[in-house]
Chain A
């Protein structure tokens, strides 16, 4: 159980275009989902917390107008990288924990397979 699906797995786009990444919890509901970014040979950095039915919470230094998050249902969150630039090239990973499992306090996060974004 607790499967998180992320799509696409890989995307190449031109500078200035926008890219949307989908994250779905397949067998559980998740009021909250988390978006991480990982640059080569670095650890995962939390970008934002996606909340169903309300605004996302962004970490310090993450531009909310550039990284648009929509959490339209209890099983779907999307991250849109707007006007992408080469420096946005990275590995984007979403994660979630099932509702009712104790919340993010002590429940393990389940990760999607990630999206490798390359901006040319």
Chain B
């Protein structure tokens, strides 16, 4: 069973702080990693994707990937109350003769004003 693990939280940070969200995955063959944000009652929206080891920055967001440790993280700088949501880590895995996107259970982030 290929798995993606996330701490369910909630992770509570004050406004303006850095929020760090972590994710581990079990499939060593995975090559593509995605972070989605999901507000309550809404569908997920893509924040970032990363394919190579190291850091990838996009505005206030930085994704970090370490394939050797099977670990991917998302940093949110200058956190805003509007960032309060559930963040889903997703990993592409080869299963049943095709690539499928496997989601973690999500980490709930709460940014306190």
Q: In the docked arrangement, what's the CA distance between A110 and B98, Å? A: 18
**Per-position 1/0 for B24-68, Cβ under 8 A of A:** 000000011010100001111110010100000000000000000
Would A43 and B100 count as touching, CB distance under 8 A? Answer: no
Given A105-B32, A106-B31, answer yes or no on A57-B92 (Cβ-Cβ < 8 Å). Answer: no
Assess whether B42 is in contact with A113, with CB atoms less than 8 Å apart: yes
**A111 touches which of B45, B49, B92, B96 (Cβ 8 Å):** B45
Cα distance A93–B45 in the bound complex, in angstroms: 12
What is the chain A residue whose CB lies nearest that of B106?
A43
Number of A-B pairs, beta carbon distance below 8 Å:
55
> How many chain B residues have a CB neighbour from A under 8 Å?
25
Interface residues in A83-103 (C-beta closer than 8 Å to B):
93, 103
Contact A93 B43 (CB under 8 A): yes
Main secondary structure of the interface of B (DSSP, over half): strand
Residues of B within 8 A of A73 (CB): none
Residues of the B chain whose Cβ atoms lie less than 8 Å from the Cβ of A44: 44, 88, 103
- B43 nearest CB across to chain A (Å): 4
| 12 A-B pairs with C-beta separation under 8 A | A6-B43, A34-B101, A44-B103, A46-B100, A49-B100, A57-B98, A104-B101, A106-B51, A108-B34, A108-B46, A111-B36, A116-B41
Q: Counting CB contacts under 8 A, is A109 at the interface? A: yes
**How far in angstroms is the closest Cβ of chain A from B9?**
12
